[in-house]
């Protein structure tokens, strides 16, 4: 199991093409792929209330189980401990979580393309609520990258995709419960 401190921000952008232009100098690590993320919690929302998350991520024929501790914000960058392990059978893990009282509370999808930008991992994400560049790595490197694009750290988003989707649903109450692409509503 990998234990790490996640340091990240998101930058909202207008399009996939804008993101590719911003990341033109970065090295492409992984071509565009679909990621399906399921968040699990107890019925009373214990983990969410604590600012924690338990996630099964499925992508590129693999799956990971991740627990994220509560986040703290420092210098407009989100920091939090993350515990992650690869899982061979995500359906069996999901049934195990359900057996101990956890339920899928939220699902979100994104198309992601991953770049290496110095000592940062830069992900270009397309979500059902827009396009983002997510920067993960040392705080100083995140700040330098943001400033190199003529932005300030005040423009950085430290909310998670589930939190961004909650905001979206407040503005658009008819939006579906899960942040999934409309043509994939019945699929997993």
Running along the chain, 188 residues long, what does each successive block of 10 average in pLDDT?
A: 90 96 91 97 97 97 97 94 97 98 98 96 98 97 95 95 97 97 61
CATH class of the domain whose range is 2-176: mainly beta
Check residue 37 and give its pLDDT. 98
Check residue 184 and give its pLDDT. 58
Q: What gap in Å lies between CA 134 and CA 141, rounded to an integer?
A: 13
Task: Determine phi and psi for 172, rounding to 5 degrees.
Answer: -130, 80
Query: Domain residue spans in the chain?
Result: 2-176
Check residue 183 and give its pLDDT. 80
SS3 167: helix
Task: Determine phi and psi for 4, rounding to 5 degrees.
Answer: -145, 165
- Say if residues 11 and 77 touch (Cβ distance below 8 Å): no
- Say if residues 115 and 106 touch (Cβ distance below 8 Å): no
Q: Which of 78, 164, 155, 159 is nearest to 128 (CA)?
A: 164
Check residue 1 and give its pLDDT. 75
Is 0.75 topped by the overall pTM? yes
């Amino acid at each position: 199991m990998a234990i790490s401190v996640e340091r990240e921000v998101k930058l909202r952008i207008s399009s996939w093409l804008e993101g590719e232009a911003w990341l033109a100098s970065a090295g492409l690590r992984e071509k565009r792929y679909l990621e399906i993320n399921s968040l699990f919690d107890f019925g009373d929302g214990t983990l969410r209330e604590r600012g924690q998350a338990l996630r099964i991520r499925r992508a590129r024929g693999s799956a990971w189980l991740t627990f994220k501790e509560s986040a703290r914000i420092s210098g407009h960058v989100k920091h939090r401990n993350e515990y992650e392990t690869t899982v061979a059978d995500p359906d069996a893990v999901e049934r195990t979580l359900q057996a101990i009282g956890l339920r899928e509370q939220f699902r979100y999808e994104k198309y992601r393309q991953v770049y290496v930008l110095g000592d940062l991992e830069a992900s270009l994400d397309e979500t059902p609520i827009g396009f983002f560049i997510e920067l993960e790595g040392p705080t100083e490197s995140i700040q330098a990258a943001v400033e190199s694009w003529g932005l300030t750290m005040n423009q950085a988003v430290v909310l998670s995709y589930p939190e961004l989707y909650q905001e979206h649903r407040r503005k658009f109450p008819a939006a579906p419960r899960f942040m999934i692409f409309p043509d994939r509503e019945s699929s997993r």
